[in-house]
Amino acid sequence: MSRRYDLGYGNSQGKGVRLVTSPFWHYGRVVNIDDPYKAGRIQVRIIGSASDGLDDDVPQSLETASPEKGGLPWCNPLLPMFVNVIPRVGEMVKIVTFDYRNKKNNRQYIGPVIGQQVPPDLLSSEFIDTETKLLGGYSPNWDDNPNASTKDKIWSIYPDYDEIGILGRRNTDIILKDTGYYDEIILRSGKIDSDSLKKSPTNGISPYILNTKNPGYITINFTESNAFNNSLNPDVKKLKLTKDRSHINLVADKINLISHEGSPRKGVLLDKIIKGNDVLAQSKIENQKLHPIPYGDVLWEFMEVLGNYIFNHIHEGSCLPPDADKTKKALENWYSKNMGVKNTEDGNIIFDNCQFLSKGVKTN
């Protein structure tokens, strides 16, 4: 009795002979991602001979046709669809085939393949060996620009080895941090300086630098009260937290806080806010439909000045104006210093030089 083993069991054939139709891995180039059922299927040309059951028997003119019409077979996602990473045409993926006798049957893919961490757009995932670096010849570290900063304390373009990161194709990511004394989630957009993105590498050195001017990001942080004892930073230990602490930072040029149950007087076109590509519509909504949020401490300062005026001003007699006392002067000075001017430009309401309304945070 003979038995053949590879990496797993397949179908039994013959008298007591078990043939193993184990998965076989291949590299392939994506030629089509237009799945009519939007199920994440793609068509991939696997480099190899037709005698190997691969794709040399499919002419290039037919490769994107339906399999029924002689095109390449559909290749299903290896990962479930809630992890939505569909490669682009021209990129390389890894293909697993489940039957060594018919490698056009039941294909699954994972990818795109990146041989080395590079920005932006995963350009090195194209099916070119010299670029994917699958056979060696790696370029210098793309996160190490000797001419400019890619790191700023704990902020960097790419995740460190002890962090878990989900990287977008170009200039977005999600970082999951565990520093030993606090845990943090960072969601970022615009982490790379836009001017440096327009430059090309020189001698394999990345031109990309951090955007320290206006990146948009959200940080969610949780710190245990006793965790600072493990910190190497002496200033951190001075906080002496008595209980666990969590905080969220939301940072951007413009921050809109929109509620479905917000002000009925000024509604919001949510479809315009959601569509980030319609900048003009977004700007109009920010300036025409949303309300600026007052600074709480400055509003308290105004109420204090107003309260002193109400309770302490003096009239010389009935129906006469109040005296020019200190409380009246204080209120006049506060108005002069903080009110600014309300203007309307192109239908947009703008509060020029107003000191108690936020210019960047608005709500409905």
* pLDDT band for position 50 (cuts 50, 70, 90): low
Any idea where the domains of the chain sit in the sequence? 12-110, 140-250, 270-363
Between 216 and 307, the more confident residue is 216
Q: What is the Cα–Cα distance from 283 to 301, expressed in whole angstroms?
A: 31
Q: Supply φ then ψ for residue 29, to 5 degrees.
A: -105, 130
Class of domain 12-110: mainly beta
Could you give the percent of the chain with pLDDT greater than 70? 70
Taking the C-alpha atoms of 341, 342, 346 and 348 in order, what is their torsion angle to the nearest 10 degrees? 130
Q: What residues have CB less than 8 Å from 316, skipping those under 6 apart?
A: 323
The candidate with the shortest Cα–Cα distance to 102, out of 37, 41, 11, 16, is 11
Looking at residue 135, its pLDDT comes to: 45
Q: What is the Cα–Cα distance from 1 to 23, expressed in whole angstroms?
A: 24
Whether residue 144 is predicted with pLDDT greater than 60 in this model: the reply is: no
Whether residue 185 is predicted with pLDDT greater than 60 in this model: the reply is: yes
pLDDT per position as a tens digit, 61-89: 999 999 999 999 999 999 988 888 898 88
Query: Which one of 103-112, 214-223, 329-338 scores highest in mean pLDDT?
Result: 214-223
Between 60 and 53, the more confident residue is 60
Q: What is the Cα–Cα distance from 3 to 243, expressed in whole angstroms?
A: 64
Please provide the DSSP assignment of 156-202 as one string.
ESS--TTSEEEE-SSSEEEEEEE-SS-EEEEEEE--B-HHHHTS--B
CA R_g for the chain: 31
Token pair of 335 as six digits? 């108005």
Over range 105-131, report the average pLDDT.
Answer: 63
Between 10 and 235, the more confident residue is 235
Whether residue 226 is predicted with pLDDT greater than 80 in this model: the reply is: no
Q: What is the Cα–Cα distance from 193 to 210, expressed in whole angstroms?
A: 5
